[in-house]
Chains A and B, each alone.
Chain A
């Protein structure tokens, strides 16, 4: 056996993992979708950009919408008012809730069942999660008109939280309480998964990156371990268009890790020694995702609207999967750059697949595929987002 090619399933979009087996495992993570969304956006009037941006992804549509809208505020030299920021933070919080529910309890359920051995329990949790997911999507529909690709508003027409509360009639409070009990079950499963498997799925060294605030829409990118501020333009320059199919992966040494683990580090809710205790495993992403979900649900259950504070007009948000950058320039012609969390995480995903395979040393194709898929899915990769951004020769 020289090579294993796995078309990854239970993710958003299409990805392939190519593993060279002989002489130590080497992995390549490639995106198969090509949707050229940056170029499409460059042919649009500004008001359409958030709308098109939300079509990059059918799961984190709100995060793309908000990143795009924030960047248009910057282009127009407009300030994001406190009331608008509050609504945008609330909308992104809803986005995180539905994505975290879907990813852990549905898309990763086969990994959770395999690593904990609790197949029936996980299956029951999945059914509950799907029902709750549906109810949360209806909350989004009530608040913003549609469950998928909702209308969050434009400059000067973002609805106030008072309007939103009238539309949802406080339903999210009840639903948050119901979802909390499932989240506690999920946390127990995630902790068990870590105890059982973290040493088999070790990580290595990373440059963690997240917006340096407790808000999901405010702040500038930082490395939470060092406190160093990271210029988003540098991340845009660090993209490379070769070797990962249609993903323009962000190349940095040590590789970046974006997402819930980085956010918890930035918020001081997780520390580096805990990460080392669990051998920097990518499986800790599941635990981090559920810890965030619990915090967000507790906040909504107590009817406490998220308060982002001062939000700078700039296309930066924390999408559920991690830091998302929309950067536009309009000197005559509009130029659009979108950096997604999956593009930021691509190299870390590859490295972690190699780490796990070289630790477990599986000999059969099925086990190689399982280990690689479990590792990649821990990051909740989204190829609809990441694989549409390569610029090709005209």
Chain B
């Protein structure tokens, strides 16, 4: 079994997570033909599995991806950048390729986008980065070397959050907060602080939400992926409506007022999935 790791525009954190699996993979007879930190760049050898991190930003990335598709039996798009464009996906909303070209010796920029919008991939594993045990399971499943591949989960970050949801008394929300003024055991949303936990796919362990609201780094929850018409703010409004006993419309208005001027979906703003949602207010927020 042969693996290549390919890195595009990213923080390289998924690669660092993958590195922690290298000793285990080698003990299981997997040959790693290219890993950018260890061996340098992949040079086009045939592989059973190519793992791609990062999002597409320039012509060179497009060329590499097409070559990967021709030479890899299976491709895993790894991490939120590869699956949804990552934080740098904001470039799709704010810049055209020409505006970003500052150096004639750098590859020409293209519309920033996730890997799966350039080539077909065989598996998508979002999160920033995915927990390494989850990654190990997916790799093992794709290579057929045992392990339990990660199954689609309908659970959100809230399922692993230790805070308790409580009734919302007043429909007044804010995006920032003073830690001294919040109850450490109560759900942020219940305290009027916008948290993306309900609209973010679970499985990360909810390590952040003990201290700060979820920023959505793992990517959208499954219902948002499956229902094109459902926006994150719509789902948040349903949760707020249920917790406050007020109408969905009232909850939506209160949330949209609070979100105005902020980039709420920081990690997924360049994916066609998110951009295709109706009344995609994220664009207005960014172009303000």
Contacts and interface: CB of A to CB of B under 8 A. Distances in A.
Given A48-B212, A149-B128, A18 B105 contact: yes
A256 B102 CA distance: 24
A245 B13 contact: no
Contact of A32 (B41, B58, B262): B58
Interface string A140-166: 000011111111011111000000000
B278 interface: no
Given A44-B263, A151-B211, A245 B9 contact: no
A57 B95 contact: no
A47 B14 contact: no
B132 A147 contact: yes
B88 interface: yes
A5 B215 CA distance: 40
A5 B132 CA distance: 36
A148 B80 CA distance: 14
A10 interface: yes
Contact of B20 (A59, A127, A134): A134
Main secondary structure of the interface of B (DSSP, over half): loop
B19 A130 contact: yes
A195 interface: no
A152 B31 CA distance: 35
Given A10-B40, A43-B286, A58 B20 contact: no
Given A43-B286, A106-B38, A392-B99, A157 B179 contact: yes
Nearest to A107: B37
A242 B105 CA distance: 12
A354 B71 CA distance: 38
A133 interface: yes
A61 B11 contact: yes
Interface in B258-278: 262-263, 266
Interface string A36-57: 1101100111111001100111
Interface string B235-271: 0000000000000000000000000001100100000
Interface string B1-30: 000000001111111110111110000000
Contact of A242 (B20, B36, B102, B106): B102
A45 B213 CA distance: 11
B100 interface: yes
Contacts of A241: 102
Contact of B106 (A10, A56, A59, A246): A246
B205 A392 contact: no
Main secondary structure of the interface of A (DSSP, over half): loop
B40 A148 contact: no
Interface string B64-86: 00000000000000000000001
Interface in B171-195: 175-177, 179-180, 184
Contacts, number: 189
Interface residues of A, number: 72
A390 B91 CA distance: 13
B88 A34 contact: yes
B37 A106 contact: yes
A12 B12 contact: yes
Nearest to A47: B212
B131 interface: yes
B129 A148 contact: yes
Contacts of A18: 105
Contacts of B11: 55-58, 61, 384
Given A16-B106, A34-B100, A157 B211 contact: yes
A379 to B, nearest CB: 16
Contacts of A61: 11, 13
A245 B104 CA distance: 8
Contact of A45 (B9, B22, B90, B175): B175
B208 interface: yes
Interface in B153-184: 175-177, 179-180, 184
B266 A32 contact: no
Given A51-B217, A59-B16, A9 B36 contact: yes
A59 B12 contact: yes
B172 to A, nearest CB: 16
Contacts of B177: 45, 47
Contacts of B99: 392-394
A30 interface: yes
Contact of A151 (B19, B20, B208): B208
B23 A130 contact: yes
The 5 closest A-B pairs by CB, nearest first: A58-B13, A145-B207, A9-B40, A45-B176, A35-B88
Given A58-B129, A154-B179, 12 more contacts: A33-B9, A35-B88, A36-B90, A40-B266, A61-B13, A102-B37, A106-B37, A134-B20, A147-B17, A154-B211, A157-B210, A388-B88
5 contacts: A32-B60, A34-B57, A102-B37, A107-B37, A134-B23
